[in-house]
Amino acid sequence: MVKRVAIVGYAQSHHQYDMQKTREDMVFEVAKEALDNAGISRKDIDTVVTASTDFLDGRTISNVFLSMAVGAYMKDESKVEEDGASAALYALMRILSGSHEIALVEAHTQASTFNPHQVSFYTLDPLFDRQIGLLNSVSAAALQARMYMDANDVSEEHLAMVSVKNLMNAADNPNAHRRMPDLSVEEVLDSKLYYDPIRELTMSPISDGACALVLASEERAREITDFPVWIEGVGTCHDAYLRDRNLLRLDSLRKAAEDAYKMAGITDPFSELDVIEVSERFAHEELMIYEALGLCREGKGKVFIDKWVTQRDGELPVNPSGGALAADPVCATGLIRMVEAAKQIRGEADGHQIPGAYRALAHGQFGICAQKNIVYILGGE
User: Considering the rule CB under 8 A, would residue 219 count as an interface residue with another protein?
Assistant: no
Start-end of H helices in 347-377: none
CA distances from 355 to 48, 166, 313 (A): 33, 18, 9
Nearer to another protein, 24 or 200 (CB): 24
Candidate ranges 13-21, 164-172, 195-203, 260-268; the one touching another protein (CB under 8 A)? 13-21
Q: Which of 97, 98, 127, 313 binds another protein (CB under 8 A)?
A: 127
3-state secondary structure of 25: helix
Candidate ranges 25-33, 155-163, 245-253, 329-337; the one touching another protein (CB under 8 A)? 25-33
3-state secondary structure of 195: strand
Q: Dihedral sign, CA of 37, 50, 237, 365? A: positive
Size of the site for another protein (CB under 8 A): 29
Start-end of H helices in 191-300: 218-224, 251-264, 269-272, 283-292
Nearer to another protein, 19 or 260 (CB): 19
Q: How far is the CB of 47 from another protein (least distance, A)?
A: 15
Question: In this structure, which amino acid lies at residue 93?
Answer: M
Question: What distance separates the 2 farthest-apart alpha carbons in the chain?
Answer: 57
Residue 222: burial class (beta carbons within 10 Å; 0-12, 13-18, 19+)? middle
Cα separation, 279 vs 256, in Å, equals 14
Report the DSSP pairing between strands 229-238 and 372-379.
Answer: antiparallel
Give the strand order in the sheet containing 359-366. 76-80, 47-51, 102-110, 208-217, 5-12, 229-238, 372-379, 359-366, 275-277
User: Considering the rule CB under 8 A, would residue 137 count as an interface residue with another protein?
Assistant: no
Cα separation, 344 vs 318, in Å, equals 12
- Give the contact letters, 28-57, x = binds to another protein (CB under 8 A), - = no: x--xx--------xx------------x--
Q: Let me know: does 351 contact 343? Beta carbons within 8 Å.
A: no
User: Considering the rule CB under 8 A, would residue 353 count as an interface residue with another protein?
Assistant: no
Q: How far is the CB of 304 from another protein (least distance, A)?
A: 40
Q: How far is the CB of 225 from another protein (least distance, A)?
A: 21
Nearer to another protein, 25 or 223 (CB): 25
Site for another protein, residues 106 to 125, rule: CB under 8 A: 110, 112-114, 122
Site for another protein, residues 141 to 180, rule: CB under 8 A: none
- Give the contact letters, 74-103, x = binds to another protein (CB under 8 A), - = no: ------------------------------
Instruction: Give a three-class secondary structure readout of 91-106.
Output: HHHHHHCCCCCEEEEE
Candidate ranges 23-31, 162-170, 299-307, 355-363; the one touching another protein (CB under 8 A)? 23-31
Q: What is the DSSP letter of 312?
A: T
Q: How far is the CB of 113 from another protein (least distance, A)?
A: 6
Q: Which of 13, 47, 71, 336 binds another protein (CB under 8 A)?
A: 71
Nearer to another protein, 72 or 216 (CB): 72
Question: In this structure, which amino acid lies at residue 322?
Answer: G
Nearer to another protein, 57 or 274 (CB): 57
User: Considering the rule CB under 8 A, would residue 279 count as an interface residue with another protein?
Assistant: no
Q: How far is the CB of 68 from another protein (least distance, A)?
A: 3
Cα separation, 18 vs 57, in Å, equals 14
Binding footprint of another protein on the chain (CB under 8 A): 19-25, 28, 31-32, 41-42, 55, 58, 67-69, 71-73, 110, 112-114, 122, 126-127, 130-131
